[in-house]
A and B are shown apart, each in its own frame.
Chain A
Amino acid sequence: MKSKTLVQAKEDHGLLEEIAALPEGERVLSCLQCGTCSATCPVAALLEHSPRRIFAMIRAGMKEQVLGSVTPWLCSSCYDCTVKCPAQIKITEVMYALKRRSIREGLANQNSDVHRFYQLFTEIVCKHGRIHELLLLLKYMALRHPLSMLSQGPVGLRMFGTGCMRVQPHRMKYRESFAKIVDKASLLEE
């Protein structure tokens, strides 16, 4: 945050209301700010904003900062905070909701490419029905780190050696039906 003063006019409670209206967001308004989530989170020490702080920022109407934060993208979906939160907030699910919103509103942090990985994953699954690890990794690395492919050489070779890296993508049997479901679902907002 550049400025420590939050200008009242820039507050935007739309995000809080949107999240609170989701099935997974019903208890967001009851956050005690106790920090159980942060202290439970296995990646908390590496986060710019702890999960507790993300909830405080949502309340403070800091929509751009929340949706531009890398914090939700670093959630490892371990659900430890979800089962411990004394306010019973479905924190992991709320983090997913924040991820979706940050993509939709074009606010995802451009210095991080984590969201691109998820988008690529989704694209591949939508196209081939199943994930294709090699394709995903190649596309992802080509996107941001063309050079990093070299550093992955040894482990990549090893995985080819064990026969665990499939080369051909999967081809679905009922391809058309699957594509229709995907197209329809992609159009429907939650």
Chain B
Amino acid sequence: MKCLYYPGCSQKGTSRSYEESLFAISSKLGVSLHELEDWNCCGTTSVVAVNKVLSLALAARNLALAEPEGLPLVTPCPSCWLSLTRANRVIKEGGPLAEKVRVALAAGGLSYNGGTVIRHLMEFMVNEIGLERIGQCVSTHLTGLRVAPYYGCQVVRPYAGEDDPYDPQNLEKLIDATGALPVSFELKTACCGGAMMATRKDIGRQMSDKILQGARTVEADLVVTPCPLCQLNLELAEYKNGRWPWEEAELPVLNLTQFLGLAMDVSPEKLALSRSIVPGVKRSVTGALLQTVSTTGE
């Protein structure tokens, strides 16, 4: 299966582990990802706070670049997915705002006719690649592992797609496909405060601590998220909680693709587990896996 890949800025920097682990499992899943040439930042929640036309034009430029390829544009980042989806809606609905975006694109010699289909990686996995295929790729069943599914905000709000915005299930389905147990996690769509991690750490930290606390309360072995910003933010919160580098991470927070890779026997190196900010994630994850395997006798 061939598709266009829109990484988003995080995947080239702070969330390299997400991209690296995605590429490590994509061949197993039979997906070939072609990075969109010369893509730019989607604008995310920042540019729209400064200039709306600019934010839409930034997103629309990517849609315009993707359109001639005629392939679905898959992004692993919920914030990118939302920015691109919103721009696509505005342009398709038409009206003065859409016209301004058209004018801006035209200034750069581009045009966009609303033909690009934008998909988020998690939903793409469930609905396009299919749980059956994913299940076939699983070689180590993670039976007994308690996993907290953490969606974050923007992959379910304001557009939830086919999933239930109040009680989404896509992440649970993917966790379930590995044989691990998706624990019932009340805060799974609560906000981690990532937007404030640079500006108002005092507020952001309270929010991410609450998520981590919630995951501990339901006795999760690890947290899995499809959002690179949530992953980073939760890790930063945990790092600050004063662990020593030689200790095991208490509650590893993994990107969705890292987690799936574990069940597919991809090496920890390829899954970029050592890129985690919290030291010891690699050790504790492999430790938890060993324990799982030994208790289930595999």
Contact = CB atoms under 8 A, between A and B. Distances in A.
Direct contact of A and B (CB under 8 A): yes
Interface of A: 23, 42-43, 46, 73-80, 82-83, 90, 92, 96-97, 99-100, 103, 113-115, 117-119, 121-122, 125-126, 129-133, 136-137, 140, 155, 158-159, 162-166, 170, 172-174, 176-186, 188-190
B140 interface: no
Interface in B190-229: 190-191, 193-196, 198-200, 202-204, 206-207
B105 interface: yes
A92 B43 CA distance: 16
Contacts of A133: 9, 13-14
B199 A117 contact: yes
B194 A131 contact: no
Contact of B13 (A96, A166, A185): A166
A80 B156 CA distance: 10
A5 to B, nearest CB: 32
Contacts of A82: 157-158
Given A43-B193, A78-B157, A99-B49, A173 B37 contact: yes
Interface string B1-12: 000000001001
A125 B240 contact: no
Interface residues of B, number: 65
A5 B62 CA distance: 50
A32 to B, nearest CB: 19
A131 B52 CA distance: 18
Interface stretch (B116-124, B167-175, B269-277, B283-291): B269-277
Interface string B139-156: 000000000000001100
20 contacts: A23-B95, A42-B207, A76-B204, A77-B154, A78-B154, A79-B154, A92-B158, A113-B199, A118-B47, A164-B15, A172-B38, A180-B107, A180-B108, A180-B109, A184-B103, A184-B107, A185-B57, A185-B58, A188-B103, A189-B53
B107 A125 contact: no
Contact of A114 (B12, B53, B200, B274): B200
A43 B195 CA distance: 12
Contact of A76 (B47, B196, B198): B196
Given A78-B157, A178-B108, A96 B49 contact: yes
Contacts of B97: 23, 190
B61 A181 contact: yes
B40 A130 contact: yes
A97 to B, nearest CB: 8
B51 A100 contact: yes
3 tightest A-B CB contacts, nearest first: A78-B191, A79-B157, A184-B107
B276 A162 contact: yes
B133 interface: no
B63 interface: no
B144 to A, nearest CB: 29
B23 to A, nearest CB: 16
B48 interface: yes
Contact of A174 (B17, B38, B50, B196): B38
A77 B153 CA distance: 8
A42 B191 contact: yes
A158 B275 CA distance: 10
Nearest to B106: A184
A96 B276 CA distance: 32
Given A96-B52, A182-B57, A183-B107, A77 B195 contact: yes
A57 B280 CA distance: 50
A155 B191 CA distance: 22
A185 B277 contact: no
A176 B100 CA distance: 19
Interface string B54-94: 10111001000000000000000000000000000000000
A118 B206 CA distance: 22
A5 B15 CA distance: 51
Given A43-B193, A77-B154, A78-B153, A166 B108 contact: no
